[in-house]
Structure 1
Amino acid sequence: MNAKTSTVWWAFLLPILAVLIWSMNIAVTRYVADFITPVSISFYRWLVAFIVLTPFIAKKTLQNRHLIRQHFWQFAILSAFGMVLYQGLAYSAAHHTTATNMGIINAFIPVFTIFVSMLILREIPNRFAVIGSILSFMGLVYVMAQGDFASLLGLGGHSGDFVMILAVFFYAFYGVFLKKWQLQVPLLMSLYIQIGFALLYHLPFILWYGLQGIDSQNIASVLYAGLFPSLIAPFVWMLAVQYLGPNRTSIFMNLMPVFTAIIAFFWLKEAWTIYHSIGGVIILLGIVLAQKKVNKVQAVKVVN
């Protein structure tokens, strides 16, 4: 009995650790924006992850290459939405907004997932999802406008926020596609194949924009992005889902804006304003309400 209780207790630390890693990555994304181009860090991130996984999973992937042929287009689409569009746009957004705002906007993944599920899976959201989504959206607009809604008319000052919203919207598609297809492929193998596609997708952008070199100012950020949020956090998150279940685990994603804001405050010296407090509370209340009695729609968090 004691062993079981201990296992449950430690299991609750698993999603907290995963969310902390992903929150740190948002701050890293903002920090490194001054030292490396979005295309370069995005490519290096997946290259590091691919190199680390290769000794452990490459042979097994080759032995099961029929799975790649069988699910070729699914892997290609998942990689495009989850690793290229989401993360690439996030790196671009970091040049024009704060890590605090990025963390708050990232919390919208569960809400966006509900409505993407409505489009793709034909799952009609209940009244809690609709009311909660509207409430969260109002909170987001309040944070972006800092209480002055007229300022939103000047889109240039909020371009980073809008790009981040688009990134999160694409990630919602990623989660819904995972749910729709439910590929019978080992998760690490699926991740490895998707990373391979991501590297291929980067080649045209590298040819067009060029590839910036790694130096002393950006190497730590590149290694962190390639190891912790790309490999360690997803693995820890999978363990959490195994022990706690997807519903209980997904609630911990609501901690991301809080963790990101704390990290950004102490590391990046970003200010936490009254607008973030009011808007953040409204957003989180909306997210909690939106997930009430909506057990069938859960965002699948694999990469961030």
Structure 2
Amino acid sequence: MSKYRVWILLIVCNLFWAGNYVFGKYVTAEMTPLAITFSRWVLAVLLLFPTAHFLEKPEWRKAGKSWKPLVMMGILGIICYNLSLYAALDYTSATNAALVNSLAPGTIAVLSVIMLGERISKLQILGILISLIGVLLVLTEGNLMEVFQMQYNRGDLIMLFAVVVWTLYSIIGKRVGNMIPPITATAISALFAIALMLPFIIREGMNLTQLSLLAIIGVLYIAICASVCSFVFWNMAIREIGASKAGIFINLMPVFTALISWSLGESITAAQIAGGLFVFTGVYFTTGMLERKLKERQQEKLSV
């Protein structure tokens, strides 16, 4: 797979996840975090298994033998991350949640070096820092000191836990990706997650008949776009370019969230536009495109 295709997958992936923040805020008003997580992944699994069967044609028995890391992926990326995200949105704003989530690229990069032996260049580190500054500009509307003045609450701490969980999911996903195709891995891990959640959802109960039309649309969006498409695209990407490089694209999420909010009628400031440019610049540095161009120019000079 070409790197350009991988980058497109990551951009679309984070665009869909940005919509998850917007719709998630509406859906949490009518459903518990457990009910949202369970219902979205039941719908997702119904789509994932046929998709995996026809596109990847996996050896299901062989894939099933690697059940231990797949169970861990289900617990971390599907149960813990989603429950944490929706629980956090109950206590904090989408802005604060996105701010805490912007720590993910850094934590993924650090653990990828420690646990996977991935190498990160100085330009990639610079890209992560530039992108983080861009995220802060978007979220604070240019008033960077607000980061230290904002009041953090229980929801922010829950979101911090979600970042740690997602980092571990990405690391395991990279290892599993070397053995099992991405759609297959996502489908099986989701099935394990549903089985683990089932006793708790039976005990809690779930009444879908009283949901508003907006909540139903939200659940469908979260199931199809933010679950099936995004998780498959994410696992395909980290399989190709590694968790550390893929992780920086997470910083596109607050930019896309701001754009979605703007399309729904909210205003957007010059500082937020500048922040978005910082984020895209940071992503450009981290993908290695600039590094390759500098090397090509250096080789051209040496050949002359």
Structure 2 residue aligned with 1:71 = 66
Equivalent in 77, 85, 90 of residue 82 of structure 1:
77
2:128 is equivalent to residue 147 of structure 1: no
Shift of 1:163: 2.3
Mapped to 1, the partners of 2:8 and 2:122 lie a distance apart of: 32
**Greater CA drift, 134-143 or 226-235:** 134-143
Equivalent in 36, 44, 51 of residue 41 of structure 1:
36
Structure 2 residue aligned with 1:301 = none
**Greater CA drift, 174-183 or 222-231:** 174-183
Shift of 1:89: 0.9
Mapped to 2, the partners of 1:140 and 1:9 lie a distance apart of: 23
- In structure 2, runs of 5+ residues without a counterpart are 292-304
Equivalent in 206, 210, 230 of residue 212 of structure 1:
206
2:163 is equivalent to residue 165 of structure 1: no
Shift of 1:94: 1.5
Mapped to 2, the partners of 1:99 and 1:287 lie a distance apart of: 22
CA distance 1:13–1:127, shift in 2 (3 Å): closer
Structure 2 residue aligned with 1:193 = 188
2:223 is equivalent to residue 226 of structure 1: yes
CA distance 1:183–1:291, shift in 2 (3 Å): closer
Q: RMSD of the alignment, in Å?
A: 4.3
Mapped to 2, the partners of 1:198 and 1:272 lie a distance apart of: 38
Q: Are the aligned partners of 1:81 and 1:171 in contact in 2 as well (CA < 8 Å)?
A: yes
Shift of 1:56: 5.3
CA distance 1:11–1:134, shift in 2 (3 Å): closer
Shift of 1:256: 2.2
Shift of 1:95: 1.6
Mapped to 1, the partners of 2:111 and 2:149 lie a distance apart of: 29
Mapped to 2, the partners of 1:115 and 1:12 lie a distance apart of: 21
Mapped to 1, the partners of 2:6 and 2:288 lie a distance apart of: 23
**Greater CA drift, 112-121 or 97-106:** 97-106
Mapped to 2, the partners of 1:8 and 1:149 lie a distance apart of: 34
Shift of 1:231: 1.7
1:27-64 deviations in whole A, cap 9, x for unaligned?
Answer: 11122121111110000010111123345557999963
- In structure 1, runs of 5+ residues without a counterpart are 1-6, 296-304
Q: Are the aligned partners of 1:82 and 1:170 in contact in 2 as well (CA < 8 Å)?
A: yes
**Greater CA drift, 257-266 or 139-148:** 139-148
Shift of 1:155: 3.7
Q: Are the aligned partners of 1:133 and 1:287 in contact in 2 as well (CA < 8 Å)?
A: yes
Aligned residues between the structures = 280
Letter paired with 1:168: V
Q: Are the aligned partners of 1:99 and 1:264 in contact in 2 as well (CA < 8 Å)?
A: no
Q: Are the aligned partners of 1:111 and 1:287 in contact in 2 as well (CA < 8 Å)?
A: no
Shift of 1:203: 3.0
Shift of 1:261: 1.0
Equivalent in 83, 96, 105 of residue 91 of structure 2:
96
Letter paired with 2:207: G
CA distance 1:9–1:177, shift in 2 (3 Å): closer
CA distance 1:120–1:205, shift in 2 (3 Å): farther
Mapped to 1, the partners of 2:74 and 2:164 lie a distance apart of: 15
Mapped to 1, the partners of 2:216 and 2:178 lie a distance apart of: 35
TM-score by length of 2: 0.70
Q: Are the aligned partners of 1:23 and 1:103 in contact in 2 as well (CA < 8 Å)?
A: no
Q: Equivalent residue of 1:94, what SS?
A: helix
Q: Are the aligned partners of 1:99 and 1:260 in contact in 2 as well (CA < 8 Å)?
A: no
CA distance 1:20–1:91, shift in 2 (3 Å): same
Q: Are the aligned partners of 1:104 and 1:256 in contact in 2 as well (CA < 8 Å)?
A: no
CA distance 1:165–1:8, shift in 2 (3 Å): closer
Q: Equivalent residue of 2:68, what SS?
A: helix
TM-score by length of 1: 0.70
Shift of 1:186: 2.7
Mapped to 2, the partners of 1:280 and 1:160 lie a distance apart of: 25
